[in-house]
A and B are shown apart, each in its own frame.
Chain A
Amino acid sequence: MTPSRKRSTENPAHDALARAGRALRLVLLIALAALFLIPFYLLLRNGLAAESDITAADWTFFPRELHWSNVRELFDDPDVPMAHALLNSTLIAVATTAGTLVLASLAGYGLARIPYRHANAVFYAILGTLMVPAAVTFVPSFVLVSSLGWVSTLRGLIVPTLFSAFACFVFRQYFLGFPRELEDAAQVDGLGYWRTYWRVVVPNSLPVFAAVGTIVFIGAWNAFLWPLVIGQDRDAWTVQVALSAFSTAQTVNLHELFVAAAVSIVPLLVVFLFLQRYIVAGVERSGIDD
Chain B
Amino acid sequence: MSQETVTFSINEKEITVPKGTTVMEAAKKNDVYIPHFCWHPGLPIAGVCRFCMVKVDGRPKMEIACNLQATPGMKVFTETPEVKDTHKWALEFHLVNHPLDCPICDQAGECRLQDYYMEVGKYKSQMERPKVLKPKALPIGDDLVLDTERCILCDRCVRFEEKITKTGALGIFNRGDRAVVGTYPDKKIHHNYQTNLVDICPVGAFTSKDFRFKQRVWFLKDKPSVCPGCSTGCSVDVYAKPEVRSYFRVKPRESDVNGHWMCDVGRKTYRHMNQEERLRSGIVTGADGFRTRSRFDEAASVLAAKLLEADTNDIALLVSPQYTCEEYNAFFSFFVGKLGVKKVFQWREPTEKIETFDGILYRGDHNPNTRGLADALKKHGLPSDVKNGFDDLARSGAKLVIALVPEIGFQYPSLNAQISKLEELSFVSLWTINGTVFSHKGIAHAIPMKGYAEKKGTFVNFEGKVRELAHAFPAGSDDARDVVEVVAVLSEVLSHSN
Do A and B interact with each other, yes or no? Answer: no
Binding site for A on B (CB under 8 A): none
